[in-house]
Amino acid sequence: MSVFTAPDFDGHENVVFGCDELTGLKCIIAIHNTNLGPALGGSRFWNYENEQAALTDVLRLSKGMTYKAAVAGLELGGGKSVIIGDAKKIKTPDLMRAFGRVIESLNGKYITAEDVGTTVQDMDYIRESTAHVRGKSSGSGNPSPLTALGTFLGVKAAVQHTHKTDDLKDMRVAVQGVGNVGYYLCKYLHEAGAKLVACDINQDSLNRVVAEFGAEVVALDDIYGQDVDVYAPCALGSTINDTTIAQLKTKIVAGAANNQLAEARHGEILMEKGILYAPDYVINAGGLINVAHETDDYDLEVVKAKTHKIYDTLLEIFQRSEARNLPTSVIADHMAEEIFKGHVSAAAE
Ligand code: NAD
């Protein structure tokens, strides 16, 4: 398996492979950049097709965390870890403790948290081997409401930029995926007077937003072509692609999902079509801001105040995008690089 020549290798500071024969642990920790502080990013437990796929995932995800933390104004670098295997079959408290020992060997350069396939309980097991873990049951708790708050503010910023008012009354918003984040986003939008269109593969989740917020339900594939003001992807990645862009009637894409653009060029296509895109890692940083502030004197009001800055950051990105005729996704990347590299990257010149 090649690392330095892997397509997604981006000068990562460290890529650490961890193994524990006794528990069956196989993990990779990637630390992309620590210019701003220790690398914080979750542990993903996933049954990868092969080790190369796991490496690709951890290289991409860790880089994304560097950009997300930088734009959110956090003194953190970017890192991520993956544990390879079927969590339902191999995950045990001892395996998580063994994983904690690998993290401990990095002396605080990497701090972990929850991600797909890991839970608050797992963080507690990891904590038995290392202090470098966030999101413990005694900590800041579920990040989703904060992610939803940031996303809601991001929707408002996009509406402000487009309509010169951020009043959401009677605006129609299509929310794709009404799980943890999507549910709270619907709540905020409903309270602001917006009309909701929703889809989800989970009927119970849908029933909840219908009962509580009067959402109109549409079929999964119909969500893209809705006659709405905002499309808010809150389920999967890569939902902005050639097929879906052709269907979009909205003028705004602003949602919480990670990796919304199937390829970087889709940011450009959105711009060409006059659709304003709120870059995913900027709008969905509320959860990271919450976890980053998980200290002994955790203060929800401080976290909320910092999350509110997402509104201004996005307005700045939208304005710069217009002024320089570059996609918002590119402007966000430049903004992050200016911060964590300490100078404007050559590509931004
Ligand atoms: P979740 O699993 O609670 O919710 C996702 C929802 O999407 C579920 O209800 C699921 O049934 C639904 N879904 C799955 N496939 C679908 C499909 N094809 N069409 C429509 N709905 C579908 O996850 P979450 O924590 O709410 O996160 C949602 C998104 O936001 C993810 O992309 C996640 O990576 C991103 N995100 C979450 C946080 C956070 O704090 N939870 C932070 C940053 C980014």
Q: Is 222 in the pocket of ligand 1 (CB under 6 A)?
A: no
| Nearest alpha-carbon partner for 257 in 268, 273, 244 | 244
30 and 62 Cβ atoms separated by less than 8 Å:
yes
- pLDDT tens-digit readout, 98-120: 999 999 999 999 999 988 899 98
175 and 184 Cβ atoms separated by less than 8 Å:
no
- pLDDT tens-digit readout, 170-182: 999 999 999 999 9
Mean pLDDT of 71-81: 97
Residue 66 pLDDT > 70, yes or no?
Answer: yes
50 CA distance to ligand 1 middle (Å): 24
Atom of ligand 1 nearest to the CA of 287: 40
74 and 292 Cβ atoms separated by less than 8 Å:
yes
Residue 346 pLDDT > 60, yes or no?
Answer: no
Ligand 1 pocket: which of 201, 226, 239 to mutate (most atoms <8 Å of CB)? 201
pLDDT band (50, 70, 90) for residue 136: low
> Is this prediction's pTM over 0.85?
yes
Mean pLDDT of 257-277: 96
234 CA distance to ligand 1 middle (Å): 5
Q: Is 201 in the pocket of ligand 1 (CB under 6 A)?
A: yes
- pLDDT tens-digit readout, 222-231: 999 999 999 9
**Summary mean pLDDT of the chain:** 94
Which residues pair with residue 79 across a beta bridge?
31
Ligand 1 pocket: which of 200, 288, 303 to mutate (most atoms <8 Å of CB)? 200
Residue 148 pLDDT > 70, yes or no?
Answer: yes
- pLDDT tens-digit readout, 22-62: 999 999 999 999 999 999 999 999 999 999 999 999 999 99
Query: Would you state the pLDDT for residue 192?
Result: 98
What is the Cβ-side half-sphere exposure of residue 74, based on CA atoms within 13 angstroms?
A: 30
4 CA distance to ligand 1 middle (Å): 32
Atom of ligand 1 nearest to the CA of 284: 43
Residue 348 pLDDT > 50, yes or no?
Answer: no
pLDDT band (50, 70, 90) for residue 138: low
